[in-house]
Amino acid sequence: MKKYVRILEMILLFIYAGGGLLHAQTSPSVKEPLTLDVQTAVALALRANLGLETEQLSFEVKRNAKDTMYNVFYPKISASVKLNRLNQGPSSVSTLIPDPTSKTGTFLDNPIYDRVIPYTYTPPHRFSLGASISASITFSYSMIHGLRLTEMDYEAGRINLEKAR
């Protein structure tokens, strides 16, 4: 975390330093006298102090980390829906059905038929639908330790910003 904050600080420092050089003002001409009082001079110095601005940005990053540090206790929720159909068509079922008009007699109380009718049945495509919802939450000692470290990092950033001012 500190590594990323330092990298961010360096990038912002180069951006602000480069922008300051590109938009630098020329020195006041002889015709325009520059008058400053103490409050204006202090305000200009604080506004142009890159070290102070870097500390302010670093403090904002630490404050955002502190404000969102309890998000690790929110459960992770996921939901999914699945609809399946086989790529192949269903196979046909062929059978023979006795012709009821050709009944000739019975054998052991079962009718006897002279003719049968061929019958082929193709079932429709079968679809399957599935849905799932899951929620998980993780607790560990390292999470509690991480919360403490985040709070200490925030306090250190606040102290550093006060020192820089």
**Whether pTM exceeds 0.75:** no
Query: Residue 14: pLDDT above 80?
Result: no
The pLDDT confidence band at residue 9, using thresholds 50, 70 and 90, is confident
Q: Where are the domains of the chain?
A: 1-24+38-73+138-165
Characterize 37-53 residue by residue with b for buried, 16 or more Cβ atoms within 10 angstroms of its Cβ, and e for exposed. eeeeeeeeeeeeeeeeb
pLDDT tens-digit readout, 15-71: 766 655 555 555 655 667 777 788 887 777 777 777 778 888 888 888 888 888 888
Question: What pLDDT, in 10s, does the model give residues 115-139?
Answer: 888 888 888 888 899 999 999 988 8
Q: CA distances (Å), 77 to each of 67, 74, 111, 135, 144, in order?
A: 22, 9, 63, 4, 22
The angle that helices 141-164 and 50-67 make with each other, rounded to 10 degrees, is: 150
Token pair, residue 116, equals 């049968």
pLDDT, position 45:
76
Sequence-ordered list of residues with C-beta below 8 angstroms from that of 148, at least 6 positions apart, any chain: none
